[in-house]
Structures are given as C-alpha cells and as structure tokens.
Chains A and B, each alone.
Chain A
Amino acid sequence: MVLALPAPRRRPSTRGSARGWTAAGFAAPLLVYLVLFYAYPLWRNVDLSVHDYTIRAFVQGNAEFVGLEKYAEIFASDTFTTALTNTAIFTLASILFQYAIGLALAVFFRSGFRLSTLLRAMFLVPWLLPLIVSASTWAWMLSSENGIVNSFLGAFGVPQINWLTSPDTALLAVTIANIWLGIPFNLVILHSGLQSIPGDVYEAASLDGAGPWRQFWSITFPLLRPVSAITLLLGLIYTLKVVDVIWVMTTGGPGDTSTTLAIWSYREAFGTGQPDFSPAAAVGNVLIVIALVFGFLHLQIQRRQEDS
C-alpha cells in the first residue's frame, strides 16, 4: 500500500498512475501473502481471545463477545504467576548459557587447528536433529531409574535425582536440554562475527604484551558487541516461544512446575482433548506482546548500530 504511493506524486501524469498500478501489481503477491499468513492469523487470535469459544460455540460459530474477560481470567489464575516466572527463568538461563558456551566454542574454533571444521560441524548436530528426537533422547537420559545421567552420578555416590518428576528439578532439566539445543545457533553466529575482527589487531595486542585473557576482554568481546546483541535478542525471542522440548519432556509438569506461557497456551488449546481456545489465544497474545517489546528493542539497537 505504502510502496505504490510515492511514484504518482512525483510524476502526476497518466503514465505515472499507470506506473503506480504496475508497482501495486508487483507488490500485490507480497501483500496478499502478508495479509493471508500474518495479518489474518493475528486478527483471528485476537478475535478468539475476546469471545467465549466453548466447544459448542466453536463449531456453531456463535461465540459470545466477552471483551477482556478471558484476559482477566488468565491474569487472576494461579498458573499465570508460575508460568511467567518459569518463562523468565527458562528464557534467561537458556540464552545466558547458550551465549556463554557458544562464545567460548567460537573463540576456541577461531584458531582453525586441524579437524576444527569437522569438530565445528559436529557441534551443529543438535540443530539438525528433529526436536522430537532430541527431546525424547534427553527424557531418556534424565529418566529417574534407568537414565544414563543418574547412573553416571550414581557412580560418584550421588543419590537418585528425579530430574523430570520432581517439582524442584523439572524446570532445570528442560532448561539444560534447551541450552544444549541452542548452542549451535550461538556458535555459528558468533563464529562468523569473529571472522570480521581483523587479525592485525590481535598481532598488535600481542606485541604490546597482552595475554589471551586480556585479548579476549579488550578486543574480542568489545568488537563482538553488535553481533552479541543480535544473537541474544534473537535467542530471547526464540526461547520465549519454545513448546516442543518442554512438552515432550515433561508436558509442563509435574503440576505446573515446568509450565511456561507457551506451554500453558498449548495445553489449553490442544493438550487435553478438551480445547479451550479463548484462554489459549489470550495467553498466546500476552506472549506475542512480550516478544514484540523485545522485537522493538532489537530494531532500536540495530538502527543505532547502523547510525554509528
């Protein structure tokens, strides 16, 4: 819509307006795509959340308009505080460790020793595996009685830890699995970021007598800051909406102890065989707003970087 306007204004002739139409014609497929696959689902989600879609109303299409009642319900629910806290812990712990480990590996692989490419490729495996496979494997490894993690810890005399079934460790367990899943993404982005730091800076630093530690904190880390900011923000937005790993490993349980906002929304809509689309959509919209805030932050940072 916006794209088509400038041309006719500059040349207010009949040919110009024809040009405008041509431009609109070229833009049309994209606009149709955006409306169909972005605007409509979003609008539908809002629509679901402000009506009371019981199962009967869903089929008959006569849901009652209830305004923000569903939002009031979810905010008042016990699950909301738990889910919000869990989402915060899960997201922050995930991206923090993913970033730290990813960065350490990126620096490690920077030196380009023998077989480094091969090893680096192997670190990408978590990315290539279907999530259902990696999540199920993690669930097996963390199984209370037969899991490899417990039998390994048992060899050192650690008593059985009920990773997935204890309210104290369930969230920790899914966070660990998610950290493992996210490392490759951080590794790849940060590694490519490192390539853009010129080698002579390091040479100059080592001539001045700076050791590896000093080089990292005074050169690598500051020069990598723009890439880091983008990596962290993208990681944050990805992690906020993680459903699959948690669902496969604990289905958000036991109780609500590993329920995040995304899991809550999924459970309400599809998890019980008793679909409650309205509260599910309301939780989903809250999640979208949170992601949106960070999305704008991302754009802001990007703009500032481009200006500087």
Chain B
Amino acid sequence: MHHPKRGITRPLTAGLATIAVVGGLAACSTADDAGADEAGGTYTWWDPYPQHEDGSDWANRVQACGEEAGVTIERTAYDTTALTNQALLAAQEGTSPDVILLDNPAVSTLADTGMLTTTGELGLDTSAIDENLLAAGVVDGETYGIPIGANTLSLYYNAEVLDDAGVEADSITDWDSLTAALGKVTDAGHKGITFAGIGTEEGSFQFLPWFWGAGADLRDLDSPEAVEALELWKGWLDDGYAPDSVINNSQNTVWEEFLTGDFAFAENGTWQVNSAAEAGFETGLVQLPARDGGVAPAPTGGEFIIAPVQEDTARYDVTRQIVECMTTPEGLVETANTFAYYIPPTAEGQDALLEENPDLEPWVEAVRNAKGRTSDDLGTDYPKISEALWTAVQNALSGVDTPADALSKAQADAEAATS
C-alpha cells in the first residue's frame, strides 16, 4: 500500500481532505483501512510536450486533475520519439509511470508488449469516442487508451499570392486543378507548395493524404495508385513547383517557409490555426484534394492517454479518476483550448468546442473524415510499413530511384519486416 507522505493526515474519505487535521486525530491510532481513498501520494505522468514547462497552462491543467483525485502528479515531458523508447525501458525495468500521453500510432506497439491496461480493466467508458479516432488504440478487440484530442492535415493557402496569380481557392478540387494552380502561381513569380518529406514518421504522415487520395492501400505500397501519388510529389519538385528543401523539411520547417509569405500553399495541421491567424498575410484553408476530386482522407494525429500496468493494482482507482478528468466533454474542450489545436474526439465535445469557436468548423469536418494510421487492421505493422514508405519518398524525391522502383523496394522491405 502507498502511505501518505504526512502520516497524520489520513482522511476517512476524499471529501474530508480539506479538513485533514480533524481526520489526523483519529489516524494516529487506526490501522490502514484498505479500500478507502488515499489522499496524498504521487502519481507519475509522462507526455510529449516539452514546450509546455512547469507553470504553463498545460502543466497546471495536469496538476488540477491530480488535485481533483486527491494526489500530486509528477509530470515529465519527453520528445515524441524518446517517449516511446523511455516507456519501453521503464516497462522492462518495471517502473512504468501511472499515465502516459502517447502519439496514437505507437499505442498498438506498446499494447502488443502487454505493458498497457485495457480501458475495461480500468473501468473507463469509451462509447462516446468517435470510432475512427479510437481505432488507433484498439488491438484484437481490446481498447488500450482514449484519445485526448485529434488533429489532422489540410492545405493552407496564402490569399495574397493566389490573388496575384489569379487563382481561385475554390477551383482546387482535384490533383489536376491543384497542379494547374501551382503552375500559375510559379509563372507569376511566386513559389508553389511546401510540404514535409523528411525521413521520419512526419514524412509518412504528410504523404498519406496523397497516397490514400489516389486510392492506394498501405498493404500494397507499389500499386499503380501509390506510384501515381509519389509521381505527383516528384513532378512538383521537377517542375519547380515545390522547393528542393521538402526532402528534409519537418512540419515545423514547412510552416516557417510558409510564413515567409513566398509560398502559395503549405500542407500543415490543425496546430497552426493560431499562427495562421497571426501571419503577416491573409491565409485560408482548402481540404486536401483526392486524385479525382473530393476530400482525401488525411491521417489522424494526436495523443492517446494510456495507463501502463502497475504491480500495485490499487493505484488504478486514482489513475482512472485522472484519465476521466482529462476525457470528460468539458475536459476535452479545455484541452483543445489549452493547446489551441486539438479537436475533441467525441461528438459532444466537438459541439461544445464549435459553440465557443465556430471558426474551427473545417477542422472538425476534417477530423471526422480522417483515418487512423494503424486502422485497416495494420496495428503493430504500421510503423514498419511507414518506415518503408518514408524511405521510398526520400529515395524518389532525391532522385536515388524512380518512384516506381522506390516503391517496389519499399513493398519488399515492408513485407520482410512484417512477415
């Protein structure tokens, strides 16, 4: 059992916590009463937001959820890739934190190791969560976490550049009209489009709307549709519609390039909404087009809240309270506002958010249409396929291989890695 830090304060119920002195009188003599809520105690919390320091809105919000459950939360922030590695190491050592916020495609990988509790074990209700968003946390019919919010990609445009080149944003409905628009913009002396083709998960994340928009399937990386999608990107590079820097661009770099005001289009996510509003030029948003028109399915981004298995199962009760605090409709809206870029994963939460901020409508729409990267039963295979995919993108864009060759190599690698 976990003993409270201060021995004399053992309130009989959580509600008495505020008048702990009274409770303390009795506590000196009574033995530990199993099953009663424990006040005090420290719960550990890891998240991938090192940009939010102690004392930031986010850190305070985490702390508030701890206080509500009557415990102190010790929060540690890691970089996204490092967080997965740290979580695996901690699980191996048997020192897992109580709660982790984890990037959604990594959830199935951790779940597969047996280091996560299911939502059933914790007693959490996931029925309100949008199915397309919850999918990333479902492995073999069991759910291993709850999304605390979702984001996805869309196409930002610079209205001034489009005006100057005489391009109507509404005219962009499929690949051909987009490429034609890029041609006009470039002829008018501006730069066309920038995106992130970097050799990491971000590269796959940005390529997927085009990949899926062509009708390609992640199980079949070298299909003609997949080749077409990669040829589209490669063609933009060859025609000078996209800068060479896209090969090494992270999504942040893409945004920095867009903010220079030179580019007509940038592929980026919900998290730039505030920055776009503050840009030195007028910006707008079009949905990423599919090859033959319509909206391409973009991948969902965002973190899941997960609870690793603990030796002391008595801790789950408080963990559940912390998780619930983060996933109530009010909690989800508060998270969305704290970050300014999270769309709540429940219909109720989305409605509440739109009431406060109707401008986010296109993003709510985009998130509803978005597709989980680990869906289609890919699960733990996704990260391996994704690695093959971003490598192919790198090889094709840099000219190491043709798109078709790069993708057929990728398919061979993916098959070898997942068999």
Min Cβ gap A69→B in Å is 14
Number of interface residues of B (CB under 8 A): 34
Inter-chain contact A165/B245, CB cutoff 8 Å = yes
Contact with B along A257-279 (1 / 0, CB 8 A): 10000000000001111110000
A272 pairs with B399, CB closer than 8 A:
no
- Determine if A196 is an interface residue (Cβ-Cβ < 8 Å): no
- Does A112 reach chain B (CB closer than 8 Å)? no
Give the number of residues in A that approach B within 8 Å (Cβ atoms): 29
Task: Give Cα A167–Cα B397 distance, bound, in whole angstroms.
Answer: 10
A52-76 with Cβ < 8 A to chain B? 55-56, 58-61
Q: A55-B109, A254-B395 are in contact. Are A145 and B88 (CB under 8 A)?
A: no
Interface string of A275-295 (1 = CB under 8 A from B): 100000000000000000000
**Cβ of B328 < 8 Å from any Cβ of A?**
no
**CB of B273 to closest CB in A, whole Å:** 26
Name the contact of B115 in the complex, choosing from A59, A144, A145 (C-beta under 8 A).
A59
Q: Is the CB of A145 within 8 A of B199?
A: no
Distance from A83 Cβ to chain B, minimum over Cβ atoms (Å): 14
A98 beta carbon closer than 8 Å to chain B: no
The answer to whether A166 has its CB under 8 Å from any CB of chain B is yes
Query: Which residues of chain A are near B80, meaning CB under 8 Å?
Result: 273
Given known contacts A55-B113, A144-B244, A274 and B400 CB-to-CB distance under 8 angstroms: no
Which residues of B from 71 to 95 have beta carbons under 8 Å from A?
80-81, 84-85, 88, 91-92
What residues on B are CB-neighbors of A60 within 8 Å?
A: 113-114
A-side contacts of B109, CB under 8 Å: 55, 274
Interface of B is mostly: helix
Question: Measured between C-beta atoms, what is the minimum distance from A132 to chain B in Å?
Answer: 13
Tell whether, in the assembled complex, residue A254 and residue B400 are in contact, meaning their CB atoms are under 8 Å apart: yes
A186 to B270, CA, bound (A): 50
Bound-state Cα–Cα, A251 to B81, Å: 14
Contact residue among A61, A162, A250, A272 (Cβ-Cβ distance under 8 Å from B244): A162
Partner of B383, one of A56, A270, A274: A274
- In the complex, the answer to whether A255 meets B243 with C-beta atoms within 8 Å is no
Interface string of A147-165 (1 = CB under 8 A from B): 0000000000000101011
Which residues of A are found within 8 Å of B243, using beta-carbon distances?
144-145
**Interface CB pairs A-B, < 8 A, 29:** A55-B88, A55-B109, A56-B112, A56-B114, A58-B113, A59-B113, A60-B113, A143-B245, A162-B244, A164-B248, A165-B247, A165-B397, A165-B398, A167-B398, A250-B248, A251-B199, A253-B248, A254-B199, A254-B397, A254-B400, A257-B400, A271-B200, A272-B200, A272-B201, A272-B383, A272-B387, A273-B81, A273-B201, A275-B84
- 3 nearest interchain CB pairs? A254-B398, A165-B247, A59-B113
